[in-house]
Amino acid sequence: MVRVSVRARHVVFAIAATIAVALCAQPVIAQSAVFTGKVTSSGQPVGGATVGIGEFGVGSVTSVDGRYTFTVDVGGRNGRTVNVMARFIGYKPMVLPITLAAGRTEKDFDLEKDVLNLESVVVTGVSDATSTRKVAFAVGVVDAEQLKNTPATTPLASLAGKVAGAAVTVGASAQPGSEPSIRLRAATSLTGRQDPLVIVDGTITRLGLADVNTQDVERVEVIKGAAASSLYGSDAANGVIQIFTRRGANLAEGQRMVTLRNEIGSSWLPKFLERNNAHEFEVTSTGAFALDANGNRIPKADRIADNAYPVYYDQMNDVFHKSLYLTNYLSIGERRGPTNFSVSFENQKETGVLAILNGYSRQNFRVNVDHVLNDKVDFSSGAFYGRSAADQTAEGGSVLFGMRFLEPNIDINALNKDGSPYNAVIKQPPASGNVVNPLYGLANNDLTNNRDRFSGTVKARYRPVTWLTAEGNFNYDQSGATAKSFTPIGYLNSSGAAGTGFLARTNTQQHAFNTGATLTATRSWRFINNTTKIAYVYEDQQDEQTSVSVSQLTVPKVTEFAAAAVDPDHPVRPGSLSQTTRTRNSFIVSTFDMWDKLVVDGLIRRDESSLFGSSQRGATYHRASVAYRVSEDFKFPGVDEFKLRASYGTAGLRPPWDAQYELFAIVAGSPQKVTLGNPNLKPAFSKETEVGFNINFLRDFSVEYSYSDKKTSDQILNVPVSSASGYQNRWTNAGTLAGQTHELSVGAVLFSRRDLFWRVNIAADRTRQKISELTVAPFLVGPNGVNGGGDGGTRIFRIAKGEPFGVIYGSRWIRTAEQLATTIAAGGLGSTTAADYTVNEEGYYVLKSAYRTVNEKPLKFRDATGTLFNIGDVNPDFTLSTSSSIQWKGLAASAVLQWNKGGHVYNYTRQWPFNEERDAVYDQRRKAAAERKPAPYYQTFYNNFDASEYFVEDGGYMKLRELSVYYALPKSLTQSLRIADFSTARIGVIGRNLWTGSNYTGYDPDVSGPGGGNPFAYRVDYFTYPQYRTVTFVFELGY
């Protein structure tokens, strides 16, 4: 291994040195052929198109009027026929054979629009830039055209509903400034992360994308599993998303493009939760609570909640409010001679829907520059700086949690005794001990999260000969975050006890870079074109975290540590964390393109990582793919292109940072065993076979189908060990997760006329996943963070061999005669006579003698195995999304509609307040008197906070994720402004998360578990910040 790495370093050095030397080289032109002409489409000039001869590596970019000129050194190639290609994004490339001869040759190109992106070029997972027609696996592409009308706050969110096989959901929260979660095809990890590897302009980005804006994105490419992502090795089993930002590269020669975009509007919560508006206590003749001698409420004998409260307050309306959404975006792009660049600035403000909080604001700057030094050398560089500030509430914390326990008679706008706003002392015995005034918390608890992000890229390419390219890159990514939490002295709990204050600050600094060198050779022999790339990649990441907290302050309103008490009972608590990750990777990939119809591709990659166990430092991955363009041999009526493809590849998942180590936690200065080390820990190993086809027909239609069969073995699991060892767990490789996905993408241009254009894309997928092997005892996991979290928390998702991944286990209630008989047979009921039980109005069996009495209770189902059963499955039957864009004269509209059919959500947000009688089902006033159930009846469903089928809900939904309508201002109007010659001037209205159709009772069925542990497999609703609706107005100018 060492020998390989040393050799690799030498290779890289040689490349880099060669680049440096080559910078001095100057082209010498002896006998020249000058190519010139015009590129048009439907008679209109196409600026920014590239025209050139690929095999010579020469060409140029058209000017605004479509003109191009480039020169070729004819040398000894006089009379040879070469292919001159013209291409531009959004158009089908055109090739003209031209005989090479000294002197001037004029050729014009008329390009045809490629509205379905059937001929776009992709670079992700392939040996070199390749037309999608010749890629042997599925690559999802989302271009700026699909992003520009409804840009999401982060690029990942923009993928929702646009790529088959890509599931996008809220991450740990929908709080402004949060990042969504994404999973590509079936899950690869039983307990770990599912998010793909993300690369932005060559920077391997593990520091999140929450701070990156979508307006800068020019294109996103998505490969979804090992069959395509083997090129990225041990961190790519979850697929790879590659994001390319604007560089001005698509502008016409000499063109400058300025874009100004302003968006302003409002966000609000489209749905409030229902609550219990009735109570089970005696009332006086005036409707007030009757009180006993101690001043406590007196429960009614029947315990039925059917009395009205003496007064009601609309607390949901007080806590959730309409808020601001604002974006200002300015970009300037230019191409002039050998240089193109793009500079942009974005300002974003999103207040969110919680009252009092300021929400999230962000300012981003980006500059990208490309420069062609000469025919042999060019380089690119880019820099991004973003800063953001978030004024937040704790997820699952007192605000969103506590307000679920409010009785409706509590005035949360009342004043405290000292006259300050939002009365904190709202506890009403025997009401909940969990209740807090959310407004008091929002007003007095400060939780801020400020981040700075910088990333920079440098890439140089050197072509010593036309068929060989050497490339070196250095990509740097830095994130700095400061999280601050402040609770003032005297902060009141709901009983009125005044706290001593709290102050905590956590600073996190993360620095990462990846650098590498590649050699790419492209050769042609008769009917074979070959592209071979060898590469070396080095990754290095340093994470540093320091934290300080104090639990007693001495000075009011001072939010710095100077106010901390010097008190041994309330010490200052420091903490720090330092993590270094290093990875060395090398690969070779080779693609053979034969007869322009058969593509065969193969690669091998070797990764060595500090994350693997010390005895398992290396892992090898490989891929073999083939694509056959059937339509080149067999012509089918109406079929423009028919491609069959198959790919098999392997990729990995790296273990968590500290998984390999034997860990002692240091608590109060004393080491204590936590995790048993594992020097043999390997990365998880994912094997994927992908087969599929692409059919383009009748010029305006395309169908892409893929079937993926994934198996990820060596699952990285933190399994329990015997407590006798003193350790709690050990990370080990133990299990295989299998998944199959069917994906279908359909594109159609329904109308393409001069004044009317209508494009529809459909993306559908269906995934099934199963645990095919497990070498440790079955266990339950997730969701993280519920009821204390970690190992002590509630666990409801079962991991067992043969079990689908994502099934919920919990209690059932007797609802059928068969269940009743089974339960009696298992000894689960007091009476063994079935006739002693009856079905009540809600469909549950109850004891006949207790029916319609205060003692009526549902009965828990039991069989010979006990009371634990499969009660739900979070996996949807299928998902289907349609994105559509229509343009009619100056009007343009686009929409994304997503349908998730089926899939359960476990609703803890309902279950916990159930124990405090706060759920709407307790309110019996709408029922006939005889059918009313007592509060203890519903209490039974709480089930000790164990999972129960009562709280498993259909999480299926149909959602209008995006809708935008734009109107292009008439030229006459924009010209009258006399500011500039606007190429774009339009106004519009955008709706995000505009409508949701669902039977789900919570805020929104598109939820994920707390802590972001595994939002797709641990699909639970747990007091997290809900998704909200946004409607904005847009004004956009481009010139």
Taking the CA atoms of 816, 821, 827 and 831 in sequence, report the sign of the dihedral they define: positive
| Helices vs. strands in the chain: H and E counts, helices first | 10, 57
Strand partners of residue 1021? 907
Q: Closer to other proteins by CB, 328 or 493: give it.
A: 493
Q: Give yes or no for a contact between 355 and 318, defined as CB atoms under 8 angstroms apart.
A: yes
Q: Give yes or no for a contact between 248 and 340, defined as CB atoms under 8 angstroms apart.
A: yes
23 binds other proteins (CB under 8 A): yes
Q: How far apart are CA 559 and CA 557, in angstroms?
A: 6
- Tell the smallest beta-carbon distance from residue 980 to other proteins (Å): 27
* Given 411, 540, 700, 954, the residue binding other proteins (CB under 8 A): 540
Q: CB burial class (10 A; 0-12, 13-18, 19+) of residue 345?
A: middle
* Given 213, 238, 552, 647, the residue binding other proteins (CB under 8 A): 552
Q: Residues 798-827 vs other proteins: string with x where CB under 8 A?
A: x----------xx-----------------
Closest C-alpha among 561, 615, 608, 616 to residue 582: 608
295 binds other proteins (CB under 8 A): yes
Tokens of 802: 């043969």
* The CA-based dihedral angle spanning residues 770, 772, 778, 784, taken in that order and rounded to the nearest 10 degrees: -40
Only segment of 32-40, 780-788, 974-982, 1014-1022 that touches other proteins (CB under 8 A): 780-788
458 binds other proteins (CB under 8 A): yes
27 binds other proteins (CB under 8 A): no
Q: Using only the alpha carbons of the chain, give its radius of gyration.
A: 32
Q: Closer to other proteins by CB, 218 or 608: give it.
A: 608
DSSP 8-state code for residue 175: S
> Distance between alpha carbon 152 and the CA centroid of its chain, in Å?
12
Only segment of 151-159, 377-385, 1003-1011, 1027-1035 that touches other proteins (CB under 8 A): 377-385
* Given 134, 271, 366, 427, the residue binding other proteins (CB under 8 A): 427
775 binds other proteins (CB under 8 A): no
Tokens 């590239």 belong to 50
Q: How far apart are CA 586 and CA 560, in angstroms?
A: 48
Q: How far apart are CA 76 and CA 98, in angstroms?
A: 16
Q: Give yes or no for a contact between 608 and 618, defined as CB atoms under 8 angstroms apart.
A: yes
725 binds other proteins (CB under 8 A): yes
Q: CB burial class (10 A; 0-12, 13-18, 19+) of residue 527?
A: exposed
Counting residues that bind other proteins (by CB under 8 A) gives: 124
**DSSP H stretches of helix in 877-934:** 908-914
Site for other proteins in 465-494 (CB under 8 A): 472-474, 494
* Given 44, 81, 286, 670, the residue binding other proteins (CB under 8 A): 670
- Tell the smallest beta-carbon distance from residue 414 to other proteins (Å): 13
* Given 98, 141, 721, 989, the residue binding other proteins (CB under 8 A): 721
Closest C-alpha among 109, 133, 129 to residue 119: 133
Site for other proteins in 929-948 (CB under 8 A): 935-936, 939, 942, 944-947
Q: Closer to other proteins by CB, 35 or 384: give it.
A: 384
Q: Closer to other proteins by CB, 39 or 519: give it.
A: 519
- Tell the smallest beta-carbon distance from residue 737 to other proteins (Å): 20
Residue 690 dihedral angles phi and psi, to the nearest 5°: -125, 130
Site for other proteins in 593-612 (CB under 8 A): 608-610
- Tell the smallest beta-carbon distance from residue 21 to other proteins (Å): 9
Only segment of 166-174, 394-402, 498-506, 752-760 that touches other proteins (CB under 8 A): 498-506
Q: Closer to other proteins by CB, 137 or 1018: give it.
A: 1018
* Given 109, 232, 379, 628, the residue binding other proteins (CB under 8 A): 379
Q: Report the 10 Å Cβ neighbour count for 754.
A: 7
144 binds other proteins (CB under 8 A): no
Q: Closer to other proteins by CB, 381 or 772: give it.
A: 381
- Tell the smallest beta-carbon distance from residue 670 to other proteins (Å): 3
Closest C-alpha among 259, 254, 458 to residue 339: 254
DSSP 8-state code for residue 677: -
- Tell the smallest beta-carbon distance from residue 423 to other proteins (Å): 11
Q: Closer to other proteins by CB, 114 or 302: give it.
A: 302
- Classified as helix, coil or strand, 599 is strand
Q: Closer to other proteins by CB, 415 or 987: give it.
A: 415
Q: How far apart are CA 307 and CA 288, in angstroms?
A: 10
Q: Closer to other proteins by CB, 504 or 627: give it.
A: 504
Q: Closer to other proteins by CB, 701 or 914: give it.
A: 914
Closest C-alpha among 262, 490, 479 to residue 1038: 262
Q: Residues 245-284 vs other proteins: string with x where CB under 8 A?
A: -----------------------------------x----
749 binds other proteins (CB under 8 A): no
Fill in the amino acid letter for 749.
V
Q: How far apart are CA 945 and CA 396, in angstroms?
A: 16
555 binds other proteins (CB under 8 A): no
665 binds other proteins (CB under 8 A): yes
* Given 77, 92, 113, 617, the residue binding other proteins (CB under 8 A): 617
- Tell the smallest beta-carbon distance from residue 844 to other proteins (Å): 17
Q: Give yes or no for a contact between 321 and 358, defined as CB atoms under 8 angstroms apart.
A: no
Which residues lie below 8 Å from residue 277, measured CB to CB, with a gap of 6+? Answer: 308, 309, 312, 408, 920, 923
Q: Residues 840-879 vs other proteins: string with x where CB under 8 A?
A: ---------------x----------x-x-----------
Q: Closer to other proteins by CB, 8 or 86: give it.
A: 8
Closest C-alpha among 136, 140, 133 to residue 631: 133
- Tell the smallest beta-carbon distance from residue 301 to other proteins (Å): 10
DSSP 8-state code for residue 566: -
Closest C-alpha among 646, 625, 643 to residue 694: 643
Taking the CA atoms of 419, 423, 425 and 429 in sequence, report the sign of the dihedral they define: positive
Q: What is the DSSP string of 60-105?
A: EE-BTTSEEEEEEE-GGGTT-EEEEEEE-TTEE-EEEEEE--SEEE
414 binds other proteins (CB under 8 A): no
290 binds other proteins (CB under 8 A): no
405 binds other proteins (CB under 8 A): no
Site for other proteins in 565-594 (CB under 8 A): 569-571, 573, 576-584
Strands 736-752 and 502-525: unpaired
728 binds other proteins (CB under 8 A): yes
Only segment of 428-436, 521-529, 892-900, 990-998 that touches other proteins (CB under 8 A): 428-436
Site for other proteins in 72-91 (CB under 8 A): none
Fill in the amino acid letter for 4.
V
> Distance between alpha carbon 120 and the CA centroid of its chain, in Å?
24
Q: Closer to other proteins by CB, 602 or 783: give it.
A: 783
* Given 78, 672, 680, 831, the residue binding other proteins (CB under 8 A): 672
DSSP 8-state code for residue 336: E
Fill in the amino acid letter for 444.
N
Q: Closer to other proteins by CB, 666 or 973: give it.
A: 666
* Given 78, 284, 317, 495, the residue binding other proteins (CB under 8 A): 495
* Given 777, 817, 821, 825, the residue binding other proteins (CB under 8 A): 777
511 binds other proteins (CB under 8 A): no
Q: Give yes or no for a contact between 220 and 141, defined as CB atoms under 8 angstroms apart.
A: yes
Only segment of 293-301, 621-629, 838-846, 899-907 that touches other proteins (CB under 8 A): 293-301
